[in-house]
A and B are shown apart, each in its own frame.
Chain A
Amino acid sequence: MTVATKSIKFIAVLVLMMTSVLAFANDGAQHQENHHEGGNKVDTPEEIKEYIAHHLKDSHDFHFYTNNETGTHVSFPLPVIVWTSEGLRVFMSSEFHHDDAGHVIVEKDGVRLTKIHSQIYELEAGAEEVVFDDHHHAENAHKVLDFSITKSVFGMLLTGLLMLLAFGALARGYKKGAIPTGFGRVLEPLVIYVRDEIARPNIGEKKYRKFMGFLLTVFFFIWILNLLGLTPLGFNVTGQIAVTVCLAIFTAVIYLFSGSKDFWAHTLWMPGVPYILRPLLAVIELIGFVVIKPFSLLVRLFANMTAGHFVLMSLIALMIVLKDLFGPVASTGMSLVLALFISVIEILVAFLQAFIFTMLSSLFIGMAVEEHDHH
């Protein structure tokens, strides 16, 4: 009986995964049919490159697919909030009509705005359309301060809301009794895992409690965002370098400001080492703690998630590249199996990266708060 229900669950999960791969595949297949106006032959590898690059970047709307025969886009607009030379302007991204090359100009109370490569530009006064120089840089437009709710920002807000609801319910559950109910039963072991396997051994029994809030937040934030990246919604939030930079800066600020007396003594004036070497060591240690450690944290998360998405998208693109060679059915089947395989690995990587980030954060915090016996 239990075996039967388990296998049904397994098949259900498998089918769900396949539909997500198919949704990607659908997205990819649409691009293959793309014929430029004037009957030019389409350079498929070039289109695929563009498609993957577009997926890896942040964007101002959720783009599901484009029907090139009718020219209709199926997408979900997000609000654009920009600070221009004339002040704040707020409107929906659907006003750009999916233009990304600076053709569509939106006029808002005397400010002309356009979107080029997912960046919002403001046209200089009097300019009617964007003029590009030889390097495809806009000559008569400049970037504006962009506070838009982009896809990534939306993903982060969604994650924040999910965490607030789930962990709020878990916390409230403890007022009624010691054992959580419902979804809290899934969350409690994870919280305890972070506490007992990550925070306690690395920070130490005495001081770990103070940092649990940060470590738990960072762990679940990264994990949920990594998993959201595997859904067909196409989030790539932890693959945005700005996001990982912010997370690494949080960690760095926390361990630098909670450093104990011993930590600073060992960093700036290492005892037990010849006096001539001490300034040299201080420089090396300072660079290590202020620059190299946060840098390795941010680069690891960013590169892993970007690489994962890149491989997944490339495998999905295989079906288009190999269509002429193997026929549509065989190429689709092959890329489906490969993409499924990589998706399963990516589920593991999603957890592993959240774990590693939290683990290394707590390791660095542990180094900073540690108190030594005096020799």
Chain B
Amino acid sequence: MYNLIGAGLIVIGAGIGLGQIGGKAMEGIARQPEAAGKIQTAMIIIGALLEGLAFGALILGK
């Protein structure tokens, strides 16, 4: 039961983080469309790092 609540909290945190990354990347691309490729790569890397953290927590909590 508690690990389900924990999983929910992890997902909320990861969701806020991913939203921030995605939203800021969108803003960046809208402001400078020519840098879209670089912004996308950086966005994916940061997203992956965040995902690693979230998955790590999910697996440790299981």
Contacts and interface: CB of A to CB of B under 8 A. Distances in A.
Contact of A359 (B45, B55, B59): B45
A356 B48 contact: yes
B59 A299 contact: yes
A216 to B, nearest CB: 18
Contacts of A300: 48, 51-52, 55
B41 interface: yes
A296 B52 CA distance: 5
Interface string A159-197: 000000000000000000000000000000000000001
Task: Specify which of A299, A352, A355, A360 lies most central, judged by the most chain B CB atoms within 10 Å of its CB.
Answer: A299
A355 B52 CA distance: 15
A356 B44 contact: yes
Interface size class of B (residues with CB under 8 A): 10 to 19
A363 B52 contact: no
B45 A299 contact: no
A211 interface: no
Interface in B30-46: 41, 44-45
Interface in B42-62: 44-45, 48-49, 51-53, 55-56, 58-59
A296 B53 contact: yes
B56 A363 contact: no
A257 B61 CA distance: 33
A303 B52 CA distance: 9
Contacts of A363: 45
A306 to B, nearest CB: 10
B52 A352 contact: no
A154 interface: no
B27 to A, nearest CB: 22
Task: Specify which of B52, B53, B56, B59 lies most central, judged by the most chain A CB atoms within 10 Å of its CB.
Answer: B52
Interface string A285-315: 0000000000111011001100000000000
Which secondary structure dominates where chain B touches chain A?
Answer: helix
Nearest to B49: A296
B52 A299 contact: yes
Nearest to B47: A356
A303 B53 contact: no
Contacts of B59: 299, 303
Nearest to A197: B41
Contacts of B58: 303
Contacts of A295: 56
Contacts of A360: 45, 48
A252 to B, nearest CB: 14
Contacts of B55: 299-300, 303-304
Nearest to B55: A303
Nearest to A298: B52
B39 to A, nearest CB: 14
B11 to A, nearest CB: 12
Interface string A346-365: 00000010011001100100
A355 B41 CA distance: 10
B44 A296 contact: no
Contact of A297 (B44, B45, B52, B53): B52
A296 B45 CA distance: 13
A297 to B, nearest CB: 7
A359 B51 CA distance: 15
A299 B59 CA distance: 8
A93 B59 CA distance: 32
Nearest to B58: A303
B28 to A, nearest CB: 18
6 contacts: A299-B56, A300-B55, A355-B44, A356-B44, A360-B48, A363-B45
Please give me the 4 A-B residue pairs with the lowest Cβ-Cβ distance, nearest first: A296-B52, A303-B55, A356-B48, A300-B52
Interface of B: 41, 44-45, 48-49, 51-53, 55-56, 58-59
Interface of A: 197, 295-297, 299-300, 303-304, 352, 355-356, 359-360, 363
